[in-house]
Amino acid sequence: MGSIGPAVKLPRSFYEQATLKVARQLLGKYLVRKHGRGVTVGRIVETEAYIGTRDQACHASRGRTRRTEVMFGAAGTAYVYLIYGFYHCLNAVTERVDYPAAVLIRALEPVEGIPLMRARRGTEDLRSLASGPGKLCQALAIDRSLNGADLCGSHLYVEDRGDPDPSILRAPRIGVDYAGPWKDKRWRFLMRGSSFLSRP
């Protein structure tokens, strides 16, 4: 719907760019997940950037540990972690090796495989299927087994379907009040007018 031209899988070079640019440019692209015989796709409508060891909201600010190791690795890999013992969060690792940075995918507009998403989420409400980082991982069957997975592979990747550039808003990141001066950075990017955001 509204797509023009062929779908192009984003190459690794896309993720090697500055994290804020990647976070901005992921909006309007399509996250594709192939799992078993099911394909689910959502249009990315909300992202957040986590950048380097000085950003106190970034997990890597606590150093290079087993958990954060993936963020220090190559751009274009998935950083997936379990949060609050219940939900998973999906990030795309960005920038160069040894520089820890990533973009959190915060919300999707369901596009393909909607019945499967409804079944996985246990709700019929379209607006609740993927409007949050934990929700979208549940809807797309993304868990820690995908930590370190290649986003330029065939099970989990992002496509440019030729949509026109969206109108974008910036806001402070969610849930990082502990991050001192870094909590006010406007590193959250939203597609203006989308009704599938985690919050307006």
Exactly one of 52, 72, 82, 112 binds DNA (CB under 7 A); that residue is 82
Instruction: Give just the sign of the alpha carbon dihedral 78, 79, 83, 89.
Output: negative
At 32, list the tokens.
């594709």
Residue 84 in contact with DNA, rule: CB under 7 A: yes
Residue 85 in contact with DNA, rule: CB under 7 A: yes
* CB closer to DNA, 25 vs 198: 198
Determine phi and psi for 121, rounding to 5 degrees: -85, -20
Residue 141 in contact with DNA, rule: CB under 7 A: no
Rounded CA separation 100/71 (Å): 5
Using CB under 7 A, which of the segments 37-45, 110-118, 134-142, 189-197 binds DNA?
Answer: 134-142
Rounded CA separation 180/25 (Å): 27
Residue 174 in contact with DNA, rule: CB under 7 A: yes
Exactly one of 42, 76, 113, 134 binds DNA (CB under 7 A); that residue is 134
Exactly one of 25, 68, 94, 194 binds DNA (CB under 7 A); that residue is 68
Residue 59 in contact with DNA, rule: CB under 7 A: yes
Using CB under 7 A, which of the segments 7-15, 29-37, 87-95, 160-168 binds DNA?
Answer: 87-95
- Residue 177 burial (C-beta neighbours within 10 Å; 0-12, 13-18, 19+): exposed
Residue (of 106, 80, 87, 88) closest to 199 by Cα position: 106
Residue 115 in contact with DNA, rule: CB under 7 A: no
Residue (of 106, 89, 116, 122) closest to 34 by Cα position: 116
∠ CA 142-147-150, rounded to 5°: 95
Residues in contact with DNA by the rule CB under 7 A:
48, 50, 57-60, 62-63, 65-68, 71, 79, 81-87, 89, 91, 102, 104, 121, 123, 128, 132-136, 144, 173-176, 178, 198
